């Protein structure tokens, strides 16, 4: 199987793998600053248009927090291990009701068995292609909160009462702090309107599209240049669908030790070395969406 050492030199690998606590902290600060700015926009000019825009912005940054949680799961967010885990939990995972430790265990299995039978994410990737009406219905379920309630009802924690409090106390504490901060600012209602609502709607939709682009309609062999996909993303896609370089997913699987803010450099290096024709890549999320709803999944993007 192709490895990082087969495609890059030791000097290149050494440069790419260096993390930065300052850069990681800045990314977390950026995500929360955008969230606060979107909420402030609605408070300043409350109307259905600014509410819809704020829901999209906040939901996209909630995905951004999930991406940064993923960085923490790989020990790449901050240089110090304990601080990395603390920040990833309190400021990235728990606010979106995620469990960093459980996610880390599951995600490492995903990397070990990518597109294989033991890949825990394989069922999501195996849904495609699907008819356009089916995908439209899935999107409607996301935007109507139906997907959210289905997921809540199917949460395995309900079947383990003794584990319920240990699993919920972190997310509850983080969300109580968030609600308290909004209440102290005089706008407690924003927790429902511009935290829970985006989490139950837009966040679900963009998470679905992200997962589709990363592993949908790909082979099951163990070539890291073919069993995951990098998707080109312009400014709007980066703002609403692919925050924090999450679209460079092929590079992440090949180079799991590289922080997200260096994945674009890794992509450029691979292209410069002539690996472009061998890499699974899409020119945009629209192209992935078109293939995901096509009758013939074998057609190239």
91 lies in some domain: yes
Contact by Cβ (8 Å): 255, 4 = yes
pLDDT digits (tens, 9 = 90+) for 58-75: 999 999 999 999 999 999
300 lies in some domain: no
Q: Residue 273 above 70 pLDDT? A: yes
- Higher per-residue pLDDT: 246 or 166: 246
- Averaged confidence pLDDT in the chain: 91
298 lies in some domain: no
User: Using CB atoms within 10 A of its CB, is residue 171 exposed (0-12), middle (13-18) or buried (19+)?
Assistant: middle
Contact by Cβ (8 Å): 163, 156 = no
Q: What is the mean pLDDT of residues 116-122?
A: 85
65 lies in some domain: yes
Q: How many angstroms separate the CA atoms of 214 and 62, rounded?
A: 18
Percent of the chain with pLDDT over 70: 97
268 lies in some domain: yes
Q: How many angstroms separate the CA atoms of 214 and 230, rounded?
A: 7
What does the pLDDT read at residue 7? 82
pLDDT digits (tens, 9 = 90+) for 281-290: 999 999 999 9
What does the pLDDT read at residue 220? 64
297 lies in some domain: no
* Spatial CA neighbour of 135 closest among 241, 143, 300, 227: 143
72 lies in some domain: yes
Mean pLDDT lowest for which of 100-109, 215-224, 271-280? 215-224
Length of the chain: 301
80: CB partners within 8 A, 6+ apart? 21
The label of the residue with tokens 């927090």 reads: 65
Number of independent structural domains in the chain: 1
Q: Which structural domain, as residue segments, surrounds residue 35? A: 4-292
Band of residue 158 on the pLDDT scale cut at 50, 70, 90: confident
Peptide bond between residue 129 and the one before it cis (omega within 30 degrees of 0): yes
132 lies in some domain: yes
Consecutive H or E run containing 33: helix 21-44
Q: How many angstroms separate the CA atoms of 225 and 275, rounded?
A: 9
Measured between alpha carbons, how far is residue 124 from residues 24, 115, 121, 259 in Å? Answer: 29, 11, 6, 25
Band of residue 6 on the pLDDT scale cut at 50, 70, 90: confident
Handedness of CA 195, 201, 203, 204 (dihedral sign): positive
């Amino acid at each position: 199987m192709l490895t990082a050492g087969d495609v890059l030199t030791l000097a290149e690998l050494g440069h790419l793998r260096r993390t930065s606590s300052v850069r990681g902290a800045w990314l977390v600060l950026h995500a929360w600053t955008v969230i606060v700015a979107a909420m402030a926009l609605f408070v300043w000019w409350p109307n259905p248009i600014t509410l819809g825009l704020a829901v999209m912005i906040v939901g996209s940054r909630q995905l951004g927090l999930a991406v940064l949680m993923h960085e923490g799961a790989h020990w790449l967010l901050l240089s110090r291990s304990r601080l990395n885990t603390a920040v990833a939990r309190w400021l990235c995972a728990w606010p979106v009701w995620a469990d960093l430790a459980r996610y880390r265990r599951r995600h490492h299995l995903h990397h070990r068995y990518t597109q294989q039978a033991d890949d825990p994410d394989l069922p999501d990737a195996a849904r495609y292609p699907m008819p356009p009406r089916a995908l439209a219905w899935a999107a409607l379920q996301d935007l109507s909160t139906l997907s959210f309630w289905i997921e809540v009802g199917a949460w395995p924690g309900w079947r383990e009462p003794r584990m319920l409090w240990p699993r919920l106390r972190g997310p509850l504490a983080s969300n109580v702090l968030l609600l308290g901060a909004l209440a102290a600012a005089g706008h407690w209602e924003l927790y429902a309107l511009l935290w829970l609502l985006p989490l139950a709607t837009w966040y679900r939709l963009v998470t679905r599209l992200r997962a589709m682009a990363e592993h949908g309609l790909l082979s099951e062999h163990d070539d890291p240049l073919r069993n995951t996909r990098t998707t080109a993303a312009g400014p709007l896609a980066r703002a609403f669908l692919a925050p924090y370089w999450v679209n460079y997913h092929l590079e992440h699987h090949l180079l799991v030790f590289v922080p997200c803010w260096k994945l674009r450099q890794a992509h450029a290096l691979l292209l410069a070395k002539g690996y472009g024709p061998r890499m699974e890549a899409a020119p945009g999320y629209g192209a992935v969406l078109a293939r995901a709803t096509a009758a013939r999944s074998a057609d190239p993007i």
